[in-house]
């Protein structure tokens, strides 16, 4: 029988006469009695065969297992779901993408707490998966390390490197007769040349950067390419390190302080991070009872220089270029005067120590504060009668001539309707497309509008703005304003906009206004009738009843 001296939490499962059943099960699976004295390490594997962001994760998990064994732990792998937003684009599947974040986090909690593991390594790489892994790590307050799957190699077509969003823009060019279907097919075949997350600063890579800046990955993890030996070494070292953290009594709460979240927001703003950071960072912070608001993002973005112009905000550099330049450590090196360098990380070094030892190998890709693309970061929060609780725009991806714009509203109740109108040539230069009933409740699930925004660029309508109570992919560029709060389904003013209304967008002035008099608004409100959610059954029916607004991170209450 196992010694009563086992010092780990997993002793609750295997120590004592009444635990003969679990010990028998473990023996049946090949675990030796003497191994049961060791720490039990969970490996959360979000592998699936549906998308490249997770297609390679089994290989990384093997490396993690080797590291756990080498350090004296016993690894136990289990899986959970992972949705690829790319497959869910412009269909009802997108209604499930953001809500899947909570399903993943909850499923991890249930397994970790139900089986009383001592520590956990969480492996994933796509838009909602990385935030959900971070939420779970924060919630459980155990030794935890994140291993992000890494970016894929950029696609190459006609001698140029490109990423996913550019293929969607090319679809608009085909419709305009500027590109043949044969050339489109060739470009399509070049798009996804390797496993990994899309080769741009979309949500997946933005949140991988956040994970590293928070201190929950080993240095260099966020941008290490999925196919690189470096990624496998980081995976193995993460397995080794988690056992050390368990033996030291480390808990994730010692890392996840308010200063750590400020560091993460600053690094995200410095690399042109996705507007979806505005949803996910507050949700992660909420797990440790820290409140992050749109005002925090506004304050930090306004005072954080924009150092790395990665696609889609820039036209030249991909995630591979950022990795070659030195990745997140290089960003932190240039940004260190604005960071809290005393913050601890899972590798045992502080943020400051990592930054000091880092190298910036390409100062065109990662600029200094003095030579920054701008002295403000990627996000701007807009307020006004249309968004009293805030709306978000990726200001670093907006052309200067569209930073201030006024135009006539073209109103749609779904992204699908808007895309149909764009494709049919029904949108005029200078219009402001309004897509409502796409928020957390109204969608349901707060769908992203990447197809609509890509079609606008592809159709040559880069002087058309788009506002929505839904959200945008991190791949979006242009004057696209999302997260309008409160949303239409909660009585927000966006639900009262009609075709032809004038809308004012002033990004430098942080304003978003519906230019309609109060008497007209009052009259419309009196006649207002909500429309039902697009999906009203199963999980999403329950989700609608408990999800908060976008400005609170769309968390479940």
Within a domain: 534: yes
Q: Is the pLDDT of residue 285 over 80?
A: yes
Task: Report the percentage of the chain scoring pLDDT > 70.
Answer: 99
How much is the average pLDDT of 282-286? Answer: 98
Q: Is the pLDDT of residue 159 over 90?
A: no
100 is catalytic: no
Q: What is the pLDDT of residue 271?
A: 96
31/45 same-domain check: no
Distances (CA, A) of 549 to 169, 446, 473, 553, 554: 30, 10, 18, 7, 5
Distances (CA, A) of 376 to 271, 297, 369, 397: 11, 11, 10, 12
315/83: higher pLDDT: 83
Count of domains in the chain?
4
42/183 same-domain check: no
- Which secondary-structure segment (H or E) carries 514? strand 511-514
- Which residues make Cβ contacts (< 8 Å) with residue 316, sequence separation at least 6? 309
Cβ burial, residue 527 (10 Å; 0-12/13-18/19+): exposed
Q: How far is CA 417 from the centre of its chain?
A: 26
235/322 same-domain check: yes
Nearest Cα to Cα of residue 313 among 187, 474, 452: 474
Q: Is the pLDDT of residue 165 over 90?
A: no
46/116 same-domain check: yes
309/215 same-domain check: yes
199/272 same-domain check: yes
pLDDT band at 475 (very low <50, low <70, confident <90, very high): low
Task: For 36-105, give the DSSP string.
Answer: GGSPEEEEEE---SS-TTTTTHHHHHHHHHHHHHHHT-EEEEEE-----HHHHTTSGGGGGHHHHHHHHH
How big is the chain, counted in residues? 557
pLDDT band at 474 (very low <50, low <70, confident <90, very high): low
- Which secondary-structure segment (H or E) carries 512? strand 511-514
Last residue of a domain, one of 320, 341, 357: 357
For residues 289 and 296, is the Cβ–Cβ distance under 8 A? no
Within a domain: 365: no
Q: What is the pLDDT of residues 499-532, one digit of tens each?
A: 999 999 999 999 999 999 999 999 999 999 888 8
For residues 197 and 151, is the Cβ–Cβ distance under 8 A? yes
Q: Measured between alpha carbons, how far is 111 from 77 in angstroms, rounded to an integer?
A: 11
Give the annotated binding-site residues. Answer: 85, 127-128, 448
Give the annotated binding-site residues for Mg(2+). Answer: 85, 127-128, 448
Query: What's the order of all strands across the beta sheet hosting 40-45?
Result: 74-79, 40-45, 119-124, 144-148
How much is the average pLDDT of 149-176? Answer: 87
Q: What is the pLDDT of residues 214-236, one digit of tens each?
A: 999 999 999 999 999 999 999 99
Tokens for 213, please give them: 């800046």
Q: Measured between alpha carbons, how far is 147 from 231 in angstroms, rounded to an integer?
A: 9
398/346 same-domain check: no
Residue 432: which domain range? Answer: 381-552
Within a domain: 375: no
351/448 same-domain check: no
Whole-prediction pTM? 0.95
Q: Where are the alpha helices (DSSP H) in 414-549?
A: 415-423, 450-458, 518-527, 538-546
452/430 same-domain check: yes
How much is the average pLDDT of 83-100? Answer: 90
Phi/psi of residue 87, each to 5°?
Answer: -70, -25
229/92 same-domain check: yes
Q: What angle do CA 4, 139, 94 make, to 5 degrees?
A: 135
222/352 same-domain check: yes
* Catalytic residue, candidates 473, 485, 548, 549: 473
Distances (CA, A) of 554 to 268, 272, 549, 550: 20, 22, 5, 5
């Amino acid at each position: 029988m196992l010694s009563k001296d086992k010092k780990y939490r997993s002793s609750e499962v295997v120590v004592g006469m009444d635990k003969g059943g679990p010990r028998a099960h473990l023996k049946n699976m090949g675990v030796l009695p003497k191994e049961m004295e060791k720490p039990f390490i969970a490996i959360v594997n979000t592998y699936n065969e549906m998308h490249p962001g997770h297609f390679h994760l089994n290989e990384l998990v093997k490396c993690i297992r080797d590291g756990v064994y080498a350090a004296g732990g016993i690894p136990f792998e289990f899986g959970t779901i992972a949705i690829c937003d790319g497959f869910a684009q412009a269909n009802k599947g997108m209604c499930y993408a953001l809500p899947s974040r909570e399903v993943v986090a909850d499923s991890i909690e249930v397994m970790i707490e139900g089986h009383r593991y001592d520590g956990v390594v969480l492996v994933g790489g796509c838009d909602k998966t990385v935030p959900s892994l971070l939420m779970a790590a924060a919630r459980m307050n155990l030794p935890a390390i994140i291993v992000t799957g890494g970016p894929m190699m950029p696609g190459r077509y006609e001698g140029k490197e490109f990423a996913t969003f550019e293929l969607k823009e090319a679809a608009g060019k085909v419709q305009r007769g500027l590109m043949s279907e044969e050339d489109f097919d060739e470009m399509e075949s070049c798009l996804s040349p390797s496993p990994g997350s899309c080769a741009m600063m979309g949500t997946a890579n933005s949140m991988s950067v956040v994970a590293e800046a928070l201190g929950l990955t080993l240095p260099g993890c966020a941008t290490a390419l999925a196919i690189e030996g470096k990624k496998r070494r980081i995976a193995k070292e993460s397995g080794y390190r988690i056992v050390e953290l368990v033996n030291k009594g480390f808990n994730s709460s010692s890392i996840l302080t308010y200063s750590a979240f400020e560091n993460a927001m600053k690094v995200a703003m410095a690399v042109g991070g996705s507007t979806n950071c505005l949803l996910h960072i507050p949700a992660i912070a909420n797990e440790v009872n820290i409140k992050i608001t749109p005002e925090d993002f506004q304050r930090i973005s306004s005072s954080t220089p924009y150092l790395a112009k990665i696609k889609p905000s820039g036209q030249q550099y991909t995630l591979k270029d950022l990795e070659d330049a030195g990745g997140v450590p290089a960003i932190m090196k240039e940004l260190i005067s604005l960071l809290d360098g005393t913050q601890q990380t899972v590798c045992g070094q502080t943020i400051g120590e990592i930054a000091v030892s880092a190298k910036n190998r390409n100062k065109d890709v990662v600029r200094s504060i003095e030579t920054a693309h701008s002295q403000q970061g990627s996000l701007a929060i807009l307020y006004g009668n249309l968004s009293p609780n805030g709306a978000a725009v990726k200001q670093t991806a907006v052309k200067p001539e569209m930073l201030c714009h006024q135009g006539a509203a073209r109103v749609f109740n779904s992204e699908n309707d808007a895309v149909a109108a764009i494709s049919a040539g029904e949108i005029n230069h200078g219009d402001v497309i309004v897509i409502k009933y796409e928020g957390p409740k109204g969608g349901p699930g707060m769908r992203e509008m990447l197809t609509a925004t890509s079609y606008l660029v592809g159709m040559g309508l880069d002087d058309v703005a788009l506002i929505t109570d839904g959200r945008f992919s991190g791949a979006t560029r242009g004057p696209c304003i999302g997260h309008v709060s409160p949303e239409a389904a909660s009585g927000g003013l966006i639900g009262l906009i009609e075709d032809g209304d004038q809308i004012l967008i002033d990004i430098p002035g942080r304003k978003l206004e519906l230019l309609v008099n109060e008497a007209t608004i009052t009259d419309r409100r009196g006649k207002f009738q909500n429309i039902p959610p697009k999906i009203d059954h199963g999980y999403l029916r329950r989700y609608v009843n408990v999800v908060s607004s976008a400005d609170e991170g769309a968390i479940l209450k």
